[in-house]
Amino acid sequence: MASATGATRLDLDGNPIRPLTICMIGAGGFIGSHLCEKLMAETPHKVLAVDVYSDKIKHLLEPPPGHGRIQFHRLNIKNDSRLEGLIKMSDLTINLAAICTPADYNTRPLDTIYSNFIDALPVVKYCSENNKRLIHFSTCEVYGKTIGSFLPKDHPLRQQPEFYVLKEDASPCIFGPIEKQRWSYACAKQLIERLIYAEGAENGLEFTIVRPFNWIGPRMDFIPGVDGPSEGVPRVLACFSNNLLRQEPLKLVDGGQSQRTFVYIKDAIEAVLLMIENPARANGQIFNVGNPNNEVTVKQLAEMMTEVYSKVSGEPPLEVPTIDVSSKEFYGEGYDDSDKRIPDMTIINKQLGWEPKTPIWDLLESTLTYQHRTYAEAIKRVMAKPAASC
């Protein structure tokens, strides 16, 4: 297969890669927009981009970027009969559609469950019935809590990797009690994974499941009051970015002691392209995609972002850069959390030879440079507007 630059491209086993038609559901979002860019720039694959919004890919929908190889189909997969036709037209379906913002898991648990399980059912069904390959995006949250989190805080075993490193083929999925509705997302995602796996076992569905571990980069989420609802609460990086842009203290939920790993979106998209173009190595696999070298507490992330934003914006940091808030105050009743999310990378490295490259300082600088360039002036305009009188 010739690439966008004309050279023949080979898969990891030395076989020519044939051009594919890809039905990408959720193509207009953060991950979808970066994947579309990659496919248009470096491959001859064709994309049927399915979403209700196209703002993040509008630059690809006019020539020359896609040269007609990307078509936007505005539809909601909940209730549109055109979906099966688009899947039938394609060689591969990639499902990115989801409600995936922690603030919604408590306040919109029904929407969260429907979005991540019920709405995904037709996609799985159509792929299985029409013998079409499926790459389904799940979440690292399916692992829930680590085994180590149930040990006493000072127990030495909490420091042993087997008690906290998350393995696709070995780690249990441990959720909190039903009244902790924060787990509605993880539970729905786990159940759709089990359904996809069962379709593979019983009906021969060719599938790959992706478990992202905090993919970070430009175009992630939204900034409240600018390109999202004023009362919206995006994920942690966009939330902290919003605070920095508004020169407000960053809010640390329960002291920001949870530990996370962060991977740069461009590194992660390299992994997805390997899955797309190496079906013999990716089919039937569940892949962690993250960067265990970029592990920090949420509090450390806030401190790093404050330092990096000061550098890219030229603005001095606040004297009091962070404040502590309780999870109940920030998210409402029913919130719970996992202590650590550290991915084991053995399977993806063995199957696809993929390793992340970008250190956390570099990905934060790239992302915050984008956030400042894109939003700083808009935030100033929003903040300058007089408050509505009663």
Separation of alpha carbons 253 and 164, rounded Å: 21
Nearest-angstrom CA–CA distance, 164 and 144: 11
Q: Is-contact 182 102, C-beta < 8 A?
A: yes
For residue 163, give Cα distances in angstroms to 141, 149, 220, 245, 294. Answer: 16, 8, 31, 38, 19
Closest CA to 237 of 254, 217, 257, 266: 217
Cα 143 to its chain centre, rounded Å, is 15
* Alpha-carbon span 331 to 251, nearest angstrom: 12
- Please classify residue 384 by burial: count the beta carbons closer than 10 Å to its beta carbon, then call 0-12 exposed, 13-18 middle and 19+ buried: exposed
Name 105's Cβ contacts closer than 8 Å, sequence gap at least 6: 112, 181, 182, 183, 184, 185
Residues tagged active-site: 185
